[in-house]
Amino acid sequence: MGTLATTRARWRRHPLAAYAVRRVAVGAVLLMFVSMLVFGATQVLPGDAASAILGRSATAEQKEIYRKELGLDRPLPTQYWSWISGVVQGDLGKTLASRDPVTSFISVRVGKTLVLALATLLVLLPVALALGVWAGIRRDRAADHVISGISLGFIALPEFVTGTLLIASIAVSLKLLPPTSIIESGQSPLTSPRILVLPVLTLCITAAAYIIRMIRAGVVESMSSDYVQMARLNGVPEWRVVVRHALRNSLAPTVQVLALTVQYLIGGIVIVETVFAYPGLGQGLVQAVIARDIPTVQGVAMLLAAIYVVINILADFVVVLLIPKLRTSQ
Amino acid sequence: MKNDRDNRSGAPRERLTRRELIERSAAFGAFLSVPALIAACGGGGGGQETAPSPPAASTGGAPSASTSASTTPAAGAPKRGGKLRVGLNDGGATDTLSPWNIPSYNSDARAEQVYERLYKYDANGAPAPRLAESADSNADATVWQVKIQSGVTFHDGKTLTADDVLYSFRYVADEKNKAESLARLEPIDLAASKKVSDTEIEFHLKRPIGDFPGLLSEKALWIVPDGATEFTKQPNGTGPFTFVEWQPGVRALYKRNPNYWQSGKPYVDEVEILIITDPAARLNALLGAQVDEITFVDFVQAKAQEGNAAIQIVNAAQPQTNPFYVQLDAPPYTDNRIREALKLAVDREAMVQKVELGFGTVGNDLFGKGLPSYNDALPQRQYDPEKAASLLKAAGQHPFTLPLPSSAALPGMLESATAYKEQAKAAGITVQLQKLDAGSYFANDKYLKSPTYQTNWGQSFESQAQDGLFKDSPYNETHWYSKTWAEGFRKAQAIPDADKRNAAYKDLQVPLYKEGGYVVFAFFNTLDAASSKVMGIVPYIASGYENLGGFDFKDHWFAP
């Protein structure tokens, strides 16, 4: 009892640390569940890895031998245990056919995906924030209607439609940019940034609409709040009202929006990489699913899930930092 | 996610994607018990698991230094130089450099650059000598003397000899190497087969095989250096290109082999294979000149590009077909009048024009149209609903109801079943269309059990026969079985002379035409595309990973 009480006391003194520990613990439990889901989902995929690798005319005996070699004949709980105990030690297993570590499959591709994601965020965030704020402070005026209307339209357009339209117009008809983002040997997205333009644009158009609307809603709410009214009545200049009062208080929701954007990108990149044949992690995941390369599917899915969870925790943490009263509330 | 996307993006794309999906699933054995999928993925290959007997042709007498059924009649002399970039439709983490298993188009395209076989099917579906110079048999086709080219070297400089050939075959035949073509070598007695000289091998067979060159043309029967055991690091064959580097599921780069034995070839300096699985992205890459050739465009894409002078559609009349079948022992289909009526109730020309947009040809209820063993002397069945109605009346089955399971598993499949529903009305036939899931269409509990079904094949007559017309055939969909017919087939199979063998095969097709359970109404072509600047691509009419002129990039060159 005594120890518990002191621990509690110490935690109360560091509510932020307590909060962080709690969130991380929840995240770990969540990832454990995700790992079971991922493992279960890959088990119910129709198709069979041994036949995938050996080719159509392989005999049943050949396949049986191969399944044994891969350990696919063991009971599912055993397979799950040996997989998950590897995962927690950073060993994601080996790809089925080439027997290379899944981690090396990931490391070749993850850089390209990061380049795409960062390029998207660099373009997306400033533009979307600016447009969102502008629409918010110009509520119900022409600028707001134009921005809100267009972004509403884009929300209804999924990435593959936007991407296809951009390819058809800008790349195929006007021939301004390459229609796909294939990378020949000796090239990289950094040496030929032209191939990044259309995928980044596609992701931005899809994600911006959402962010703009979120930011606009936050700003509109702040602008109609009592403290803004009060500031105005006190004769504070309008730009100061916006920057010091309205925006400051929209900051917390903005962090959440940023987190949501990154989470959206995790899914959106899988689609965009496929549409543009960009050889990143998302395309690799799709290929692995089609090829029934279970260890790769599991490894990439776990990585993406982990990123998702970590982003969430970080965002929550930053929000708590920004809004002190949340630190103590349970 | 990919499926959603394709579903929403409209039918044309969905068709190809689904086909690819299925092809892959087949390749991965999701539906191993499916001839259809085997056919879809390359009938030539898969169908011949048990007893290889591919599209027949000359018994490989004539030694010809170049395989060049595939060289081109293109204007002007071939020009040297350039980098050929090819967009392939599949690939991923499962790819390896080992050539012994060919589960995908890209794995075949890569292996064909580095490795060669003794024979290879040419553009007309006949086995043409490659590393072999000739193959001659004894009178009963049980012993074959194969002579190989002299002066051929591997990429590491070693000279090709008979020892390499025997080693390669024994490597494939060794179960522990898990080579795909193991079962294909079953007729060869490798223990008794022996080297006669450095360039001659004597193959002893366990039973007569008249078309031994056809067997030697089979997938993944590559010739590698004697003693080679490591195939995943630096591929070493006799092929026209040498391996430089690759990244699985992304690209593979090859350099011209300056010592290649076919003089002047290859024409291009480099070949780069780029994996672009999305059909729209693949075509866009070609239109945007990011690649020079691509595998697989669908009917609608091909039609849309017809007027585009910058693009050539490689239109290969491979015998792919989505026939309906009925089981001969399931009443009322036991009555041939009903089977005949079903065959007369389909408008074959409309199927080709409306479903395949003209990229195909009418069928005559037999398989392997266009290949040397196809019987094209039989009268073409026409759309004749009146005659169909009168046959049904004579059988006491008018009006008739036909339950017909179908799916969007392959290009034009569901579309043709839907069209048949309309066409058959005039004959008093009500087609009850049952749309089944495409992904599991050949792995569900209905296929091979339902007395009627829509299926898919892409093989020659003799290859399909072994897979589907014998009592112990794995996919005897129609329950066709006749002892005398089967004996006749085995006899035909042992005839070494190609013309005589094909004549015997053609005779065997007559009873199938008259009484068989298949309604083979149309064949659809395999469509690839390339830049108009690329010369030397000859469409292959045998199906089975034979895209873009059998992936023989050594024959392709850039117009100046």
Quote the crossing angle between the two packed helices A15-44 and A2-13, to the nearest 10°. 100
Distance from CA of B390 to the nearest CA of A (A): 45
Q: What are the tokens at B408? A: 């969007």
Q: Which positions in chain A touch B29 (Cβ < 8 Å)?
A: 47-48, 50-52, 54, 56, 58, 63
Q: Are strands B311-321 and B522-531 parallel, antiparallel or unpaired?
A: antiparallel
Chain B residues inside the 8 Å CB shell of A286 = 1-2, 277
> How many residues make up chain A in this entry?
330
pLDDT for residue B83:
97
| Strands annotated E in chain A | none
Q: What is chain B's length?
A: 560
CB contact under 8 A, A54 and B101: yes
**pTM for this model (two decimals):** 0.79
Instruction: Give the range among A87-101, A176-190, A296-310 with minimum mean pLDDT.
Output: A87-101
Determine the residue of chain A that is closest to B245 in CA distance.
A185
A206: phi then psi, degrees, rounded to nearest 5: -70, -45
Cα A66 versus chain centre, distance: 36
More confident position, B223 or A247 = B223
The amino acid sitting at A117 is A
Q: Is residue A164's pLDDT more than 60?
A: yes
Q: What is the pLDDT of residue B152?
A: 96
**B435 vs B426: CA distance, rounded Å:** 22
**Whole-number pLDDT of residue B160:** 97
DSSP state of B175: G
Are residues B235 and B99 in contact, defined by beta-carbon separation less than 8 angstroms? yes
Give the closest-approach CA distance of B238 to chain A in angstroms.
Answer: 23
First to last CA, chain A: 22
Looking at every residue in chain A, the average pLDDT score rounds to 84
Does A2 have pLDDT greater than 80? no
Which of A54-63, A226-235, A306-315, B523-532 holds the top average pLDDT? B523-532
Residues of chain B contacting residue A93, judged by C-beta atoms under 8 Å apart: none
Minimal CA separation from B398 to chain A, in Å: 42
What is residue B310's predicted lDDT score, i.e. its pLDDT? 94
Greater pLDDT, A61 or B282: B282
pLDDT value for B219? 84
Secondary structure class of B504 (helix, strand, coil): helix
Instruction: Name residue B255's beta-bridge partners.
Output: B242, B270
Task: Please report residues of B whose CB lies closer than 8 A to that of A59.
Answer: 182-183
Specify the pLDDT at position A5.
56
Give CA–CA dist B215/B127, Å, rounded.
9
Min Cα–Cα distance to chain A from B380, Å: 34
**Alpha carbon A203 to chain centroid distance?**
12
- Rounded Cα gap, residues A245 and A234, in angstroms: 13
pLDDT of residue B31: 30
Query: Contact at 8 Å (CB) between B128 and B250?
Result: no
3-state secondary structure of B195: strand
Measured N-to-C along each axis, helices A194-223 and A248-275 cross at an angle, to the nearest 10 degrees, of 150
How many Å lie between the alpha carbon of A137 and the closest alpha carbon of chain B? Answer: 37
Cβ distance A274 to B29 less than 8 Å, yes or no, reads: no
List phi, psi (to 5°) of A29: -60, -40
Nearest CA in chain A to B270: A185
Tell me what pLDDT residue B44 has: 34
Instruction: Give whole-number Cα distances, B127 to B130, B218, B238, B465, in Å.
Output: 9, 9, 19, 19
DSSP single-letter state for residue B159: B
Which two tokens mark B443? 């792995």
pLDDT the model gives residue B264: 92
Chain B residues whose beta carbon lies within 8 Å of the beta carbon of residue A287: 91-93, 249, 275, 277
pLDDT of residue A254: 78
The segments of chain B whose pLDDT lies below 50 read: 1-74
Q: Is the pLDDT of residue A329 over 50?
A: yes
Q: Are strands B132-137 and B324-326 parallel, antiparallel or unpaired?
A: unpaired
A183-197, A253-267, B39-53: least confident range = B39-53
Environment class of residue B471 by beta-carbon count within 10 Å: exposed (0-12), middle (13-18) or buried (19+)? exposed
Interval A175-184: pLDDT, tens = 899 999 988 8
Distances (CA, A) of B288 to A63, A113, A169, B84: 42, 23, 12, 15
> CB-CB: which of A59, A66, A296 is closest to B93?
A296
**Distance (Å, rounded) from C-alpha B145 to C-alpha B212?**
10
CA distance B375 to B502: 9
Task: Name the residue with higher pLDDT: A133 or B396.
Answer: B396
Q: How many angstroms away from the CA of A289 is the closest CA of chain B?
A: 9
At B60, phi and psi to the nearest 5? Answer: 65, 30
The pLDDT score that the predictor gives to residue A72 is 79
Contact B182, B264 (CB under 8 A): no
- Nearest CA to A232 out of A120, A135, A330, A137 is that of A137
Of the candidates B32, B93, B291, the beta carbon closest to that of A288 is on B93
**What φ, ψ does residue B9 adopt, rounded to 5°?**
-85, 5
The H or E element containing residue A52 is helix A49-54
Q: How confident is the model at residue A67 (pLDDT cuts 50, 70, 90)?
A: confident
List pLDDT tens digits, range A198-223: 999 999 998 888 888 888 888 888 88
Contact between residue A91 and residue A285 where contact means Cβ atoms under 8 Å apart: no
> Contact A182/B276, CB-based, under 8 Å?
yes
For range A150-174, the mean pLDDT: 88
pLDDT value, residue B515: 96
Q: How far apart are the first and last CA of chain B?
A: 43
Q: For residue B439, what are the contacts with CB-CB under 8 A and spacing of at least 6? A: A46, B21, B22, B25, B30, B409
Please answer whether residues B303 and B313 qualify as being in contact, where contact means their C-beta atoms are separated by less than 8 angstroms. no
pLDDT band at A319 (very low <50, low <70, confident <90, very high): confident
Mutate to test the interface with A, among B94, B110, B270, B305 (most CBs of A within 10 A): B94
